[in-house]
Amino acid sequence: MNKEKLKKFKKLFDSQRQSLLFNDRIVREDFGVCSDDRYDEVDQATTDCEQSMRMRLRNRESLYIKKVEEALRRIEEGTFGECDACGEDIELRRLEARPTATLCVSCKEEQERKESFHASGREHKSMGEAFSRKYA
């Protein structure tokens, strides 16, 4: 990948990381307010519901920020744009559509074929784990 393209991706990731970190702070502040109201019985259900919604949002965001940081690391290392599985260059069109991609199209398709085989069971399990961690 040429330097201009790489710079463009780095800028994109930098700004994504900035806005994600900013969101993270807002959610944390919201959480503080939430926990103060926790023992108000009337609002209990609403608060729980809101919290779990925020939790889900937060989990998704922190997952994404990990990907963004991983991508920035790959840019530093000079491996950005290479497929994790086969080492070939990831198609530029794919990177532009999905900048955090770490697999080329054919390896991704291969992975999705394998995942769809296990998907339902595993997704269910991980949701259950997150749930029990929170309420244990």
- Contacting positions for Zn ion (CB under 5 A): 83, 85-86, 104, 107
Nearer to Zn ion, 68 or 90 (CB): 90
- Asked whether 68 and 20 are in contact (CB, 8 A), the reply is yes
Least CB distance from residue 98 to Zn ion, whole Å? 14
Burial of residue 69 (number of CB atoms within 10 Å: 0-12, 13-18, 19+)? middle
Least CB distance from residue 85 to Zn ion, whole Å? 5
- Asked whether 17 and 68 are in contact (CB, 8 A), the reply is yes
Nearer to Zn ion, 16 or 102 (CB): 102
Least CB distance from residue 102 to Zn ion, whole Å? 9
The pair of structure tokens assigned to 121 is: 């069971």
Least CB distance from residue 118 to Zn ion, whole Å? 20
Nearer to Zn ion, 83 or 101 (CB): 83
Alpha-carbon distance of 133 to 51, in angstroms, equals 14
Query: Half-sphere exposure of residue 123, counting CA atoms within 13 Å on the CB side?
Result: 6
The pair of structure tokens assigned to 118 is: 């296990």
Nearer to Zn ion, 16 or 95 (CB): 95
Q: Which amino acid is at 129?
A: E
